[in-house]
Amino acid sequence: MNFSAANILKVPELRKKLMITLSLLLVYRIGFHIPLPGVNVDALQDLAERSGTLASLLGLMSSLTGGSLSSAAIFSLGVMPYISASIIFSLLSKVVPALEKLSKEGQSGQRKINQYTRLATIPICLVQSLFVVLGVLRQSTAGGTEVVYSQVWGWGALYVLLVMLALTAGTMFIMWIGEQITEHGIGNGVSILIMAGIISAIPGAMIRYFGQSSMESTEKYQRFLLYLLCWVLIVTVIVYITKGQRRIPIQQAKQTRGRKVYGGQRHFLPFKVNQAGVMPIIFASALMMLPNALAFVAPFMRVFNNPTHFWYIIVYGGLIIFFAFFWVQMMFQPKEIADNLREHGSFIPGIRPGEKTAEFLGFVMTRVTLAGAVFLCIIAVAPNIITQQIGGLGSTWAYFLGGTSILIVVEVALDLVEQINAHLVMRNYEGFIKSDKMAGWSRRPAGRT
């Protein structure tokens, strides 16, 4: 890869989009410094580091939503309620005929579903914020320090309602920021917010690791270098698989007009190995929060607080595979692609146009999706096992090095680079990634083909 990032500033439209995105991200991060009323932030952070059940839940939420409950801010829920609402409506669109009809009406139908999703986010926010108040903020540290000051708890139901409304308002404002980034900025707004939240936790985690760890200085650096090496290796594998494609050859039919022959070109229909992207990971992680939360009242659920436990891996992996196939089925319509190929006079060599082509495309997509789903499972689980075996990390740093966080950051970053590159290419500038083929073409003498 040869980067030419200076060209970004030469495109006014792209420069404007990037400035809007960065400005909105700044507003997003400022919201994490506006605390909830009456919360002892130091006590909550101490509790998060020492309590296994609470640390597991807070770490999972931070790695998924871009929020951080340990900061006790109005943005603490992040985009988790919106993700939960999206999961519900994604499933309902395959079950409820009215929603299924809307999903097939193009952009207008999708806008309607998005509106329903935003409305459904409000009650989900209220329920999740109630859990935060009753399940998290009512805790106390080992030294007896309460997370919420006793004077404030004296307000009773009024305080609970105040915190619920504050968290709900914070999440709705985050949704608005995400929509503005998607519409006026660059990239998918919600994904960028999640990535920003994950990355923002790194400096604090490193400070705690090097400053508060009981290990000797030499051992700290040795383990850190080992983690860094594993992280680079995992990122390399993710990039390689994410960019991998299964190319199906497409032949265009020849047409004779007079003495000239048109068509006959050979193209490729690319299928990404990880066609579903990061969505199966996000959906599966969101559902895994339920047993994590229930562990406070149901001790047998505590097996799901350990990412390396057998049942955690089985359930988590099963959800990832399910959502990988579910998401691809929603986005990929083999019959529609086969009809489009036939209408444009194209075909797959050796495969009959029409129904046979649709069956072939469905068969190939199933195999590719299975490979991608297995890859997602390995990436989501393996780093957690490596982290536990090496040991010595705080909960926040451990969750950042976990597969879920790494995959989200890498996938979103790659998508962002591709979108910036597309803008540059459209404006006749050399993109981020200069291929050898393009460079070789530009060196050919004029007049040759």
pLDDT in tens, 92-105: 887 788 888 887 77
Q: 428's torsion region: left (phi>0), alpha (psi -120 to 50) or beta?
A: left
pLDDT above 80 for 371: yes
What mean pLDDT do residues 23-40 have? Answer: 86
- Looking at residue 222, its pLDDT comes to 78
DSSP state of 299: G
Greater pLDDT, 20 or 420 = 20
Q: Which of 348, 374, 391 is the last residue of a domain?
A: 391
Residues 208 and 258 in one domain: no
Phi, psi values for residue 304, rounded to 5°: -85, 0
- Answer whether residue 59 shows pLDDT above 70: no
pLDDT at 269 over 50: yes
Q: What is the mean pLDDT of the chain?
A: 77
When mean pLDDT is compared over 65-74, 178-187, 190-199, 383-392, the highest value belongs to: 178-187
Domain of residue 279, CATH code: 1.10.3370.10
pLDDT value of residue 168 = 92
Are 177 and 271 found together in one domain? no
Count of C-beta atoms within a 10 Å radius of residue 50: 12
Whole domain around residue 249: which residue ranges? Answer: 215-391
User: Could you give phi then psi for residue 307, rounded to 5 degrees?
Assistant: -65, -10
- CA angle 403/405/409 to nearest 5° reads 115
Please state the domain count of the chain.
2
Q: What is the pLDDT of residues 157-178, one digit of tens each?
A: 888 898 899 999 999 999 999 9
pLDDT in tens, 298-315: 677 777 777 777 888 888
| 227 shares its domain with 351 | yes
Instruction: Please indicate, yes or no, if residue 437 is contained in any of the structural domains.
Output: no
Lowest mean pLDDT among 142-156, 283-297, 318-332, 375-389: 142-156
- Decide which of 391, 423, 439 is a domain's last residue: 391
Q: Are residues 250 and 209 in the same domain?
A: no
pLDDT band of 180, cuts 50, 70, 90: very high
Specify whether 151 is located in the same domain as 42. yes
The rounded distance, in Å, linking the Cα atoms of 327 and 401 is 26
* pTM for this predicted structure: 0.76
> In this predicted structure, what is the pLDDT of residue 172?
92
Query: Does residue 369 sit within a domain?
Result: yes
Q: Do the domain assignments include residue 441?
A: no
pLDDT (mean) for 283-293: 77
C-alpha distance from residue 446 to each of 110, 281, 435, 437, 443 (Å) = 48, 50, 20, 17, 9
User: Is residue 417 predicted with pLDDT exceeding 90?
Assistant: no
Most confident among 223-227, 360-364, 417-421 (mean pLDDT):
360-364
